[in-house]
Structure 1
């Protein structure tokens, strides 16, 4: 690990100012991803700004504004607290399921909600500093593109990068239309819909999000919905114990009788960001909640998949996963 300075922030504004003044500074919260990257010499910050004691950890109901009736998760709240909070378990069980599928209890006890959104790819070419990687070092090439890419993207990849985004929590947040609130060094705040928070690789795969340097995630808002009774998070992985997803699906339905009024589907393990399955959602609106319609919706979404040399199996796996997740959601999480 390379030398760095360490400071403990007193408030959110001074924390952001510390980063804004140093392009090689990073926020440190739980550190469950950043410290690993530093040890592997992938990340090389010259300064760490500890934000763990800033507060920003409450889970609370939203009583005013455009998201009235929803809930707010503090950006520095722990994943464990978010997953187990009564408001989340009662009204957003999809999020609870996704967080619990994401990591061990020890990691959830350390990892923060904002940090979860900011975690970087687990592509082995990104972690191996002897290999070319445009995400780690721009314009060096993508080792995975022609290498071993079984775990990699089938949607939204570019010639520059085929890595996938690892978070389970963010996939559920994408399905739930979350809004991310951030604050910059001047104290100005802005709101970013989760769909616009993460980026596809394009020609800048080194940029994972649309945050500006120094912007701090203060909270994550979830709008009110009627998906609690019919939602499910499905994670397909090589082993049951804390592996990253080959394919995951966050599915939620609102029905009237057996007719689908609203559908939300997001996928993990298939793209550089949580992949919102908009074609599948649109195919379900106004249709009966049947296996045949679920399959048609899955086919509509997966038709645009572009597999790489070693991950064509993800297309069929994605099809089956969407169908199963929708069936489980319709049955309230029961097989």
Structure 2
């Protein structure tokens, strides 16, 4: 049985300053410490990057929490899970290119607390966040990423027993500690990078009998790879069995359309002769991209003994969000 923690803070994006934006997204380092009540970790950072402070703490169910400070940085809470005994939290900040020390302090004193700090180059901030608690079963949290190329990572706490996690396939444990109070604290990430809108699950396979808390977050890339799609539509003539098909392929990022192409084809009807066909592309000042295809033909109507004609038009428009729509028309 699992329960999501209510009223989680939104994963607001902290834009990384110029200097890290051109670097590929990567987890550069993990530094950690384990203590009671209060724990500090020194991070030898010399880059401007996004830092995530993973906090897991012993404590009574629904009561434990922590605060994170240090380095003169602005730390924001991304998510907290404490419906089960103990606490798991993720905090984040943008560093300033000098070494810093982070401190986590538990609200319930005298109990174990682990702090692990991960730094990410080429990151722009935090996207989707999921906070889950379970009375039993293998720890697991589902998350739907907001962007391509993100890193999905998590922090967890097991209050019942000092048992190391067994990660599910596609998951990697970054750090895990146990203490004499029979608690387990850990951090992990998914090996694969995200695809926007495609749900993922960060999970372990064992143990399965303990209660746990887990917070999963999406670390956004400053340069996410584009989303690429293809689509096609066909318009049919009303006067003869003529078909015009427009095929469109395009790639886009949150900044807009980065590439696009189209091809067209038409299928002739018996007794039809074609005298004009075209495909045009227009890139508008708004950033939208349009494709226009058309074919006009004449044919001999055997039933009436007359010659008739028709124009088939099939257009496509890609908006600045990368969404495509078709528009078709026929006329004589």
Normalised to the residue count of structure 1, the TM-score between the two structures is: 0.23
Considering fraction of residues, name the structure with more strand: 2
Of the two, which has the highest radius of gyration? 2
Considering fraction of residues, name the structure with more helix: 1
